[in-house]
Chain A
Amino acid sequence: MQIKFGYRDNFLCEIRPTGELCSEYMCVDCGKAVIDAQNLKHKEVNDLCREAMLNDVTDITINNVFGQRYIGTRLYNPDKRPPVTITINKFPGNDLGVFLDGHRIIVNGNAQDGVGNTMNDGEIVVHGRAGDVVAMAMRGGKIFIRDNVGYRCAIHMKEFRDKLPVLVIGGTAQDFMGEYMAGGVVVMLGLNLKDGEPHRANYIGTGMHGGVIYLRGHVEPHQLGKEVGVRELDEKDWRTVQTHVHEYCRHFDKDPAPILTGRFIKLLPVSRRPYGNIYAY
């Protein structure tokens, strides 16, 4: 079995040149572009997006997306162009908006894993559910998910002074939500839970040492990480929650009043150095 098989490139093989794709799959019309992503590979979709941005387009619509990855990432440009709005119809793939720096993405469908991974600035709105590690290591910007999310969301979120990331989830999450959070705001509304049904996540906020989670609904103490404390909301907290809930409702056409009457609790870290005692110096 000493056979040299060499290398098979699964990502970059058979990528068609951007020029050829432009004529077939994209149509540009005074600042707006429409891309049909049916059968386009991951890199090809992103090549077209970048091409559109370089041609001064600020509104891109991508149709027939089935699993294409990294949409919104290739738009980094140090020339400080105006931010682009990308509307995605159907179902984007993993790492939507990874390293996003200031643009807006709207998804009319479900998203997969890694939405807003290490996002620096911008906005992502998903009219559906999302997968695992949403807002992982997020440093700024806003993400709104209408329904539920998976494991390890908002893991290691960070903030610094006025750069504050926000994640608003309409439904509930699975385990390890807010793991190792160092900053940022998470608002989880639990809108699809029945009355009195607790959120299902376990190990919420394990390792949390910064930031805050506003939870609407009920959790048992054993569902929380040992670094997490539960508090009632004060004036400032209420104002924050109201702002984010209003914005959520604007995106998804819902009424904020019944949401705001629900019971909210605040989860925050009880210690800044949860691991200060595990090492022998």
Chain B
Amino acid sequence: MKQQYHQSERFTPDKELQACGLFGVMDTSGKCFGGEMAINAIKNMKVRGNGLGGGFGVYGLYPDYKEYYALHIMYQDKNQAAKRLVEEYLKQNFYVVYDEEIPTDPGVNVFQPPLVWRYFVSPTHRKGAEDTMTDDEYVVSKVMFVNINIEDAYVFSSGKNVGVFKGVGFPEEIAAYFMLDKLYQGYIWTVHSRFPTNTPGWWGGAHPFGILDWTVVHNGEISSYGTNRRFLEMHDYYCTLYTDTEVVAYAVDLLMRKQGLPIEIVSRIFAPPLWDAIKLMSEKDKKLYTALRTVYAPLLLNGPFTVIVAHHNEMIGLTDRIRLRPLTAGAKGDLVFLSSEEGSIRAVCPDLDLVWTPPGGEPVVVRLNSKDHLLSTNKSI
């Protein structure tokens, strides 16, 4: 694919159109729970998807292997040659502790399922210059390699103690196929119901999209995708999965992991305040926001969006700065919910302690063992 890019920008793959329903739930005390809440909530929002995509991101599901990177890899059309190549590659570059096919329910009928395999690996076996890389860097570069160079093989998720299950079908069908309500418990569940218009049968296109332990579910269309993608390419992130959500995941990885910026700043990069509002701020704030907007201008996400970004210990909900897509947050006890519609939160938890909707560009940050999510209620309705 790198060759394709060199030939001409004319041949870059088109990103798909999609629209969706989102839901996320986190237990801030770290207690793990099963998937019924997530599945029932997304079923309530069935009309937001069109049955051509659904997916789940689960955190804390592999307590026995939590020190190892769990790679969920999909082989399109059950291509065995691709599988062999990938396994060769993994053996050369990682210490593979354990691997197996992700268990699926044979009774559930889904459309053309690919082969989905999970590998628990540790990043040893490094050569030469790679010694200086951090573990995370190493894993990212290897994942990029698999996505770009090995035909028919795509990595769904590559984090420690994190798993992404997704595919073509209504989300409840995907949940039944992967037996999510029976087999897994997690302290963060994010779900996505997709409404794509392109290339059905492409399991890799569903959300959540993940890199390391970042998973992103996204509702909306990023009209600045071309700009964002070209900026990220300069930083060695290649968008190969035909969806605009990729730029969000890679941008979050770049800003939060590589450049160490906190989430409050990152949300202000994705959804910055308008220049009219910056004019009225204090000198200190003016300096900060002007710096962010000028340096990170290519990462401004334009277009309607609601994203739920999750990684270990945090789940973050963010909408675009003029709130063209909805997001409602709810809390009851230790559980915090984020969803496209209040009705779906109520369907799984009818009596909430608190329900609020933050303004555009204001993140709701749900952190482990804290009440930080309540900070966003100040400006919310």
Contact = CB atoms under 8 A, between A and B. Distances in A.
Q: Do any beta carbons of A and B sit within 8 angstroms of each other in the complex?
A: yes
B111 interface: yes
B52 interface: yes
Contacts of A157: none
Interface residues of A, number: 36
B112 A3 contact: yes
B223 to A, nearest CB: 19
Contacts of A90: 346, 350
Q: Which of A5, A129, A148, A173 has the most CB of B within 10 A?
A: A5
A47 to B, nearest CB: 16
B44 A148 contact: no
B341 A94 contact: yes
A196 B46 CA distance: 43
A1 B201 contact: yes
- Helix, strand, loop or mixed for chain B's interface? loop
Interface stretch (B94-102, B159-167, B180-188, B352-360): B352-360
Contacts of B34: none
A113 B170 CA distance: 24
A67 B342 CA distance: 8
B347 A67 contact: yes
B47 A11 contact: yes
B381 A1 contact: no
Contacts of A200: 359, 379
Contacts of A67: 44-45, 341-344, 346-347
A112 B357 CA distance: 11
Nearest to B379: A200
Nearest to A42: B47
B343 A3 contact: no
A222 B50 CA distance: 42
A277 interface: no
A69 B47 contact: yes
Interface of A: 1, 3, 5, 8, 10-11, 42, 66-69, 90-94, 110, 112-113, 129, 131-132, 147-151, 171-176, 200, 202, 222
Closest 4 CB pairs of A and B: A67-B343, A8-B51, A5-B200, A148-B381
23 contacts: A1-B202, A3-B200, A5-B200, A5-B201, A8-B52, A8-B170, A10-B50, A66-B44, A66-B343, A67-B343, A67-B347, A91-B342, A94-B341, A110-B355, A112-B341, A112-B343, A129-B355, A174-B357, A174-B381, A175-B359, A200-B359, A200-B379, A222-B280
